[in-house]
Amino acid sequence: MEAYYPYIKSLHLIFIITWFAGLFYIVRLFVYQIEASQKPSPDREILGEQLKIMASRLWNIITWPSMILALIFGFWLLFMRTFFLADAWMQVKLAFVFVLIIYHLKCHQIFKQLQRGTVKYTSNYMRLFNEVPTIVLFAVVFLVILKDGTNWIYGTVGIILFAILLMMGYKIYKRIREK
């Protein structure tokens, strides 16, 4: 079984990448769907239907299967290296994975609402919401690469500063866009 570890790890990484790609793009589609819902007819109907099809294909064919496969291969890796569960970095990483799963489920809820034509959020809210997986991605990559070498205080401050920079970038983008 140990000979398969690099293959399982590779598959885990591939599906992590496609899962994140799906999460990043689905929220962009949410932004476009929300903005299309505010357009006059017939643009609203034409754009709305096309964006629903695009979102449905992305969500059901790429994002959901990628999440499921990433989790399967990830748990398989943990099963092969159970000693990682005792490491603090792995426990924090799994907490971030849990946050990402919650985010995914929230995206599913929003997806279902928009597929029904129900708009409950603004496009600006969705742009900000789209930064959550970016923060999780940075945190997990640094945790996995640096492991125990990570100084938790500096790491935590770094992620908070990164989140603040993202929010500032969003505010600047919003001002430019509104001009």
Classify the phi-psi angles of 117: left when phi > 0, otherwise alpha if psi is within -120 to 50, otherwise beta: left
Q: How far apart are the C-alpha atoms of 136 and 97, rounded to whole Å?
A: 8
Chain position carrying tokens 């500032």: 168
Confirm whether residue 112 is marked as ligand binding. no
Q: Look at residues 110, 78, 107, 127 and name the one whose alpha carbon lies nearest to residue 19.
A: 107
Please enumerate in sequence order all residues whose Cβ is within 8 A of that of 24, keeping only pairs 6 or more positions apart, or say none.
130, 133, 134
d(CA 48, CA 39): 10
DSSP reduced 3-state for 15 = helix
Annotated ligand binding at 12? The verdict is yes
d(CA 5, CA 87): 19
Give the tokens for residue 14.
Answer: 């591939």
Cβ proximity of 93 and 16 under 8 Å: no
Residue numbering of the annotated binding site: 12, 93
Residue numbering of the annotated binding site for heme: 12, 93
